Structure 1
Amino acid sequence: MTLPHGFVVVLDRHTRVLDDGRALLGGNPTRLIRLAPRARPLLTGRTVYVRDAASAALADRLLESGLAHPAVHALPCHPGRRDGDDPSCTYVIPVRDRAHQLARLLDSIPSGSPVIVVDDASRRPDLINAVAARHHAHMVALPVNLGPAGARNAGLRHVSTPYVAFIDSDIVLTAETVPTLLRHFADPQVAMAVPRITGLATTEAPGWLGRYESTRSSLDLGAHPAAVRPGTPVSWAPSACMVARVDILTETGGFDERMRVGEDVDLCWRLVRDGWRIRYEPSVEAAHEHRAHMGDWFARKAVYGTGAHPLAQRHPQNIAPVVLAPWSTALVLALFAQRRWSLPVAGTAWAVATARIARKLKDTDHPVRHATRLTADGTVSAVAQGSALLTRHWWPLTVIGCLASRRMRRATVLAAITDIALEYRRGTTRLDPIRYGIARRLDDLAYGAGVWISALRGRSTAALRPRMVLNPRTPQRQPARKASPQGRTSQAR
């Protein structure tokens, strides 16, 4: 399967064009791609327009490596769309005792769209029935509570259109959310597309927890487009709002109904494992009613953490809380050790890593400059991961260590401050540092507690063990593939 004519991709903001357009550096993991002479004219500025087999092969390669993303608004509207209505997509809404939220969501869905409301054993099913009937939605009533995964699968079995949009009842859509996501399916390898999840403006949202969630929500994957893939900055996608191909979900069995939490992460990783693509498209949004009361908010964060062990059982290679290379491990350990030799050891590790990367980039202009930038980015990532390990994933061990060691206390304070400083560096917070820091630590305590609860229940430390990449994929020279109709690194099954 190849990209159709008219498809457009744009280089990622972190992708660097080197040697006057002869090479590209970027992607996840970072790699160096040399463009063959006949491939260079296909890159117009930072854009590739698919006009023939050669440009389709180049665009596909850039998408697969994370060097570029679809220019979704330059793609044609989905063929089934008519005046905002898309009869090729059915909306499936699982709900339990949220009649008011359901009505609000249904008001935001384009009129005439096929809608299936799955009542997951509500205590007042009459209220759900009344709202669904008022909006002409098809009702599926479940006699027992199956949870989000089971409710979505029950709705999926009633879908007759080629695409399905799973929308949680506490979401409000914009008119362009689903139609824009459907454009991504011009790529025949895309199985799912998701929007950015933002905070819904409610009377409770202006509170400090509401403002924290608008900055650091567990469902908000950021402001930049990405391929959803384990081991990358966007490693999963929330099921609060997602659009998918019905035939692919049917083949894979849909959501794992044994999972009450983390079922969306599991589905994403199974689709990627099978060779499909998932696109994160932040140019369109879905507003989510975040929890703003302390008790509900803290409990929900802990529930998120309890999905760690089930995911570790199914995807042990993807669940490690920290993934570091040997050099970054040495650097972080040296810094947190706070000894006289800490800075020399950390500096040596940094210099060795920079020299190794520079050797791999020796055929480019300014290899040391590029290597220095890559190592600096790796250092920031390593310090952030180490800080999260102390304050989030391993905080019960950190507390014990702080009781016995002054050095551990200093390391923990440093980790907490570093964590907040890195967040403020992005300039996205809506809280002062004190309240943001308190909310962030409570968030970490709740999630970390959930991870430890799941590990104890499962009698396994798999979800808590860091992973060291002994042979990290540093920048590699890779020739652009020859253009061919079969120009994919793997075919979806």
Structure 2
Amino acid sequence: MTARLPDGFTVRLNRHTRVVDHGAVLVGGSPTRISRLKPLARGRIHAGELTVSDAATRALADHLLATGMADPVVHALPAVDLSTATVVVPVRDRPRQLDRLLAGIGGALPVIVVDDASEDPAAVAAVVTRHGAQLVALERNLGPAGARNAGLAQVSTPFVVFVDSDVVVEPAAIELMLRHFADPALAMVAPRVLGLAGGEDTGTAAAAANWITRYEDARSSLDLGSDSSTVRPRSPVTWVSSTCLVARVEALGAGFDASMRVGEDVDLVWRLVEEGRRVRFEPAASVRHEHRSTLRAWLGRKFFYGTGAHPLAVRHPDDIAPVVLPPWGAAVLVALAAQRRWSIPVAALVLVATVLRIGRRATAVRHPYRLASRLAGYGFIGAIAQGFALLLRHWWPLTAIGCLGSRRVRRAVVVASLADTAWEFARTRPQLDPVRFGIARRLDDAAYGAGVWWSAIRGRSPKALLPDLRRRH
């Protein structure tokens, strides 16, 4: 699609993009690429920022956004009138949570509440009436995707804000996300989803403050981190949750796939990307989500997330792989997993060969082998992390069987578990001791992995479990 960034649109190189050769070359993006800048373009980037002012800067800014090397400076974009957006809330019962959500919005935006065949529709209608929102009552339960589509059909504004009922969102966060639509290629933007004091199963914060909610506060499946990012398959942020989404109405078409009860948000994101539109994750805007606070509800939700794997594999077979590895990364993992005397020498040899291969291709930089060593090092760390994920999360049923008869598998599991827990504990700094954090981490992986396997077995296809080995990233 053809789209022109407006004058004044400012982008900033993100922290994963390296500037080398005194600003002549940029290394970054996803997949990683090396971009040599022309002298004129070089002079337009100041302190890592570029402002669109003519055709040349417009083309460069668009390239940086498309490759994931830079992100919009959202606070520098013009403010947007909240009246250009309508909030759509799918709900089934949950009048307490709905009341809290609508109170937070405070009448700043028009709101459409879609009652997805509640067991107590009168309670939902009373909350909607009290807050002056519009009610769309469905006679039969369609699921979240169908309910959102029913609300979308009633929207007359250029933008729509989908918000789940167990969320607290402030108008300031919505306005911040709306600024992103100064980029005409943008179809959707999502905020960071953080935890809310008080669990879904209880009405008081005190009752919900337990080891599960503390783990979720640090390592929620819905929290995609603190780095702004483009969203697309095989990038650092591959999906965003429908917990809260702001979208351009004309880009959505018919909306979500109503036949999907889980994974419909991932499907919509990937369809938009396939159409050539942009989707962004903006952590500067955040919403608060009510985490599950009981073990059964928490594990059930993780399992439920996993069951979306097969439906996505049917619709997006090239994008659903649990891990994406270059062949050399897979070779390193196999060598180390063998745990033989030759394992480390072979892995080292593969790394050296990879450095040489990257160095021969990195002719755009002055010190290609220095850069190649750094890139190979990052790739090695990424391969190890993905190997841990396969062992502990996606393939854990096979791992459990292997542990019954192999000392090497048991040793690999111990190493992977300790290393993964230590890394995540140091990275997230949870309000939880390492032992309970580690237990929660393994339960999280086991429940999600079980959901993936269940969906694959029911779908009679292993597609969602197969790694993707790609020669070029």
TM-score (norm 1): 0.93
Rounded to whole Å, the distance in 2 between the matches of 1:51 and 1:112 is 34
Q: 1:399 maps to what in 2?
A: 400
Matched, 1:214 2:210: no
Q: 1:447 maps to what in 2?
A: 448
Q: 2:36 maps to what in 1?
A: 34
The one-letter amino acid of 1:303's match is: F
**Structure 2: which 5+ residue stretches go unaligned?**
199-204
Matched, 1:273 2:274: yes
Matched, 1:306 2:307: yes
Q: 1:188 maps to what in 2?
A: 184
TM-score (norm 2): 0.96
5 Å-filtered alignment, 1:38-117, equals: 38-78=40-80, 81=81, 86-117=82-113
- Provide Cα deviations, 1:227-254, integer angstroms capped at 9, x if missing partner: 001101100000000000111112xx21
Rounded to whole Å, the distance in 1 between the matches of 2:426 and 2:296 is 30
Rounded to whole Å, the distance in 2 between the matches of 1:38 and 1:281 is 30
The one-letter amino acid of 1:247's match is: E
Aligned residue for 1:242, secondary structure, equals strand
% same residue: 56
- Is the 1:90–1:161 contact (alpha carbons within 8 Å) kept by the matching residues of 2? yes
The one-letter amino acid of 2:149's match is: N
The one-letter amino acid of 1:472's match is: R
1:63 positional shift: 0.3
- Provide Cα deviations, 1:127-160, integer angstroms capped at 9, x if missing partner: 0000000000000001111100000000000000
- Is the 2:25–2:364 contact (alpha carbons within 8 Å) kept by the matching residues of 1? no
Q: 1:19 maps to what in 2?
A: 21
Aligned residue for 2:224, secondary structure, equals coil
Rounded to whole Å, the distance in 2 between the matches of 1:366 and 1:292 is 52
Stretches of 4+ aligned residues off by more than 3 angstroms: none
- Provide Cα deviations, 1:325-360, integer angstroms capped at 9, x if missing partner: 111111111111111011101111111111212222
Bigger relative contact order, structure 1 or 2 (CA pairs below 8 A, ≥6 apart): 1
Pick from 134, 139, 161 the counterpart of residue 138 of structure 1. Answer: 134
- The alignment of Structure 1 onto Structure 2 pairs a total of residues equal to 464
1:112 positional shift: 4.1
5 Å-filtered alignment, 1:351-390, equals: 351-390=352-391
Aligned residue for 2:291, secondary structure, equals coil
Q: 2:465 maps to what in 1?
A: 464
Q: 1:129 maps to what in 2?
A: 125
Q: 1:4 maps to what in 2?
A: 6
The one-letter amino acid of 1:380's match is: I
The one-letter amino acid of 2:229's match is: A
1:369 positional shift: 2.5
1:205 positional shift: 4.3
- Is the 2:98–2:165 contact (alpha carbons within 8 Å) kept by the matching residues of 1? yes
- Is the 1:196–1:286 contact (alpha carbons within 8 Å) kept by the matching residues of 2? yes
Aligned residue for 1:231, secondary structure, equals coil
- Is the 2:323–2:468 contact (alpha carbons within 8 Å) kept by the matching residues of 1? yes
- Is the 2:108–2:171 contact (alpha carbons within 8 Å) kept by the matching residues of 1? no
- Is the 1:423–1:429 contact (alpha carbons within 8 Å) kept by the matching residues of 2? no
Aligned residue for 1:39, secondary structure, equals helix
1:110 positional shift: 4.1
Cα 1:325/1:112, change in 2 over 3 Å: closer
- Is the 1:384–1:418 contact (alpha carbons within 8 Å) kept by the matching residues of 2? no
Q: 2:320 maps to what in 1?
A: 319
- Is the 1:173–1:286 contact (alpha carbons within 8 Å) kept by the matching residues of 2? yes
Aligned residue for 1:38, secondary structure, equals helix
Aligned residue for 2:136, secondary structure, equals strand
Rounded to whole Å, the distance in 2 between the matches of 1:427 and 1:240 is 22
Rounded to whole Å, the distance in 1 between the matches of 2:422 and 2:4 is 44
Matched, 1:177 2:179: no
Q: 1:338 maps to what in 2?
A: 339
Q: 2:202 maps to what in 1?
A: none
Aligned residue for 2:236, secondary structure, equals coil
The one-letter amino acid of 1:164's match is: V
Rounded to whole Å, the distance in 2 between the matches of 1:377 and 1:245 is 36
Rounded to whole Å, the distance in 2 between the matches of 1:11 and 1:346 is 33
1:370 positional shift: 1.8
- Is the 1:149–1:259 contact (alpha carbons within 8 Å) kept by the matching residues of 2? yes
Rounded to whole Å, the distance in 2 between the matches of 1:435 and 1:155 is 42
1:366 positional shift: 2.8
1:403 positional shift: 0.5
The one-letter amino acid of 2:367's match is: H
- Is the 1:172–1:286 contact (alpha carbons within 8 Å) kept by the matching residues of 2? yes
Pick from 143, 157, 164 the counterpart of residue 161 of structure 1. Answer: 157
1:422 positional shift: 2.4
Q: CA RMSD in A?
A: 1.1
Rounded to whole Å, the distance in 1 between the matches of 2:123 and 2:364 is 68
5 Å-filtered alignment, 1:276-291, equals: 276-291=277-292
